[in-house]
């Protein structure tokens, strides 16, 4: 089973890319972020024609998350963080088969010390508490998405630039991410790849992709109960080479049947 995540940076613009990639990669479950579409405009029929069912939570212009899958039904669908008042469409969860899938589009935070940074840390704390409860109910847990945090210095192209004072790599953000790992979630990519210089996001400016000036901020985390079933994980750079691409590449893991 292949499970993937992709920040498409506008599904309206990137739908042809998504359909092409679904046809090539054939993932069983895909989480999307930054769909930037109101629910009434979500292309559910086009995805159904490609063989995928979907649930989604969107808003105009900003944010937006969706989960696509090939087989079965989605159960216990949850949009937003329970008990956390937030109008932004950043969180979606669904049970598919024997898996609980949580799709996150983590707050960017703008700059260390800003109001948006404080909001990011509060948001992450609320996500942590919710996922802790979800893990008790659903041991077969997958948490994936655009985390807007690079886990460590291997995940940035220049640690001198992306340091403790920088957004996406600050001490508090990385500590919040480690708190999620400590719930019994592993960074699937790091089970198979230990080297640095492998990224999932590159700035459109300054030839960022060509020069590999990137960050690894898109993650697929797997609960401890699934760890023995993991057979591979990676980053698919090819869609980033296409015309008018998202600034993110798809990331994925593979699970043995169980």
Going along 70-117, which residue ranges are E strands? 74-79, 91-96, 99-105
Which of these is catalytic: 28, 103, 146, 247? Answer: 146
Q: Per the structure block, which two tokens stand in for 152? A: 């460590």
Reply yes or no on whether 52 is catalytic. Answer: no
DSSP structural state of residue 212: T
d(CA 199, CA 157): 8
Name the residue among 142, 25, 139, 12 with its Cα closest to residue 64.
12
Query: Could you tell me if 6 and 246 are in contact, meaning their C-beta atoms sit under 8 angstroms apart?
Result: yes
Q: Per the structure block, which two tokens stand in for 1? A: 């089973």
Reply yes or no on whether 117 is catalytic. Answer: no
Which of these is catalytic: 105, 117, 155, 218? Answer: 105
Any idea which residues carry the catalytic annotation? 105, 146
């Amino acid at each position: 089973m292949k499970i993937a995540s992709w920040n498409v940076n506008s599904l309206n613009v990137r739908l042809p890319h998504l359909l092409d990639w679904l046809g090539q990669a054939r993932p069983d479950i895909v989480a999307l972020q930054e769909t930037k579409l109101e629910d009434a405009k979500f292309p559910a029929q086009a995805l159904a024609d490609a063989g995928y069912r979907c649930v989604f939570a969107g808003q105009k212009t900003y944010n937006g998350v969706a989960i696509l899958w090939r087989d079965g039904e989605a159960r216990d669908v949850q949009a937003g963080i329970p008990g956390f008042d937030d109008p932004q469409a950043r969180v979606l969860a669904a049970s598919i088969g024997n898996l609980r899938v949580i799709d996150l589009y983590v707050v960017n935070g703008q700059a260390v010390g800003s109001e948006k940074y404080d909001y990011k840390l509060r948001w992450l704390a609320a996500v942590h508490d919710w996922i802790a409860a979800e893990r008790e109910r659903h041991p077969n847990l997958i948490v994936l998405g655009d985390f807007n945090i690079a886990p460590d210095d291997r995940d940035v192209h220049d640690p001198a630039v992306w340091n403790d004072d920088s957004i996406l790599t600050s001490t508090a953000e990385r500590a919040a991410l480690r708190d999620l790992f400590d719930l019994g979630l592993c960074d699937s990519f790091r089970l198979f790849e230990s080297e640095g210089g492998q990224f999932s996001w590159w700035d459109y400016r300054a030839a960022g992709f060509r020069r590999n000036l990137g960050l690894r901020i898109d993650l697929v985390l797997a609960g401890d109960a699934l760890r023995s079933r993991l057979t591979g994980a990676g980053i698919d750079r090819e869609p980033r080479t296409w015309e008018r691409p998202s600034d993110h590449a798809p990331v994925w893991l593979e699970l043995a049947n169980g």
